[in-house]
Amino acid sequence: MDDCHVQEQLREMLGDKPKEIIEYERRLKAATFSYNKADNKSVKGQHKTAHKMFNYTDGLFERLAEYLSENIAGHGTLETWFDRTVETTPENSFGLDPDSFPKIITSRSLNNKGGGYLVNKRTIREVKMDAVQDDPDLLFG
């Protein structure tokens, strides 16, 4: 069951995030929370307060983009922790909202596009099914 061992190692690795990824998650969470609070004020008709809060939130997202560019982009092992590319080009720049930023592959966000290490993660059931298909004697052995 070498495949089972590979899956165990993958799960262990996904549970041990690098400090740069943890910091990115913290910053994204703070910016997202601020954005949602500002959006809530806007929905309630408190436009002046919402405008101030969105200005503050824009700054958080700008600093998040800088952090991503300076600390993660170009580092292959860190980039594989994301559901999409972290390289910023004129065609691929980040907006000032939560949906524009890449998510960590372990995120439960509905905007998580998958990818990175997560592509190789399989359920225990899938591993067992593959093992039986590869060697039917395991089932009737």
* β partners of residue 89: 92
Confidence of residue 138 (pLDDT cuts 50, 70, 90): low
For the entire predicted model, the pTM comes to 0.70
* Percent of the chain residues topping a pLDDT of 90: 38
Rounded distance between C-alpha atoms, residue 82 and residue 138, angstroms: 37
Averaged pLDDT, 44-54: 95
CB-CB contact of 58 with 96 (8 Å)? yes
- Domain ranges in the chain? 2-136
Measured from the Cβ of residue 52, the count of other Cβ atoms closer than 10 Å reads 13
Per-residue pLDDT of 66-80, as tens digits, reads: 999 899 988 888 888
